Amino acid sequence: GENVEQHPSTLSVQEGDSAVIKCTYSDSASNYFPWYKQELGKGPQLIIDIRSNVGEKKDQRIAVTLNKTAKHFSLHITETQPEDSAVYFCAADRGGADGLTFGKGTHLIIQP
């Protein structure tokens, strides 16, 4: 089955700097890679996703890159703000089966 590794587990950056979170996956049949943001005590919310037919996708300060050959994808947040502080999860589809396999999460801390 699919295995998703996520690094780092905690990331602290100064407000205004950029943050990068990286994930690797194992199943070459996976084609859908979403990123979720979870605030304390709440359910995760999708912030951006990418499919295997593109290498990069941007939405304002957030971008995701995908390297299918190396089986890794990354989340980039520029000009970080205090409201970006949260736990971020990467995920990959399960190669045709329903459901997603999630990474263990990155706690992003924005220092004022």
Residues of this chain that bind another protein (CB under 8 A): 1, 4, 6, 9, 31-32, 34, 36, 41-46, 49, 51, 89, 93-94, 96-105
Q: Closer to another protein by CB, 19 or 34: give it.
A: 34
Residue 83 beta carbon to another protein: minimum distance, rounded to whole angstroms: 19
Q: Closer to another protein by CB, 40 or 112: give it.
A: 40
Report the alpha-carbon distance of residue 72 to residue 100 in Å, rounded. Answer: 16
Residue 44 beta carbon to another protein: minimum distance, rounded to whole angstroms: 5
Which ranges of 1-112 would DSSP assign to H, the alpha helix?
A: none
Q: Which amino acid is at 38?
A: Q
Report the alpha-carbon distance of residue 110 to residue 105 in Å, rounded. Answer: 16
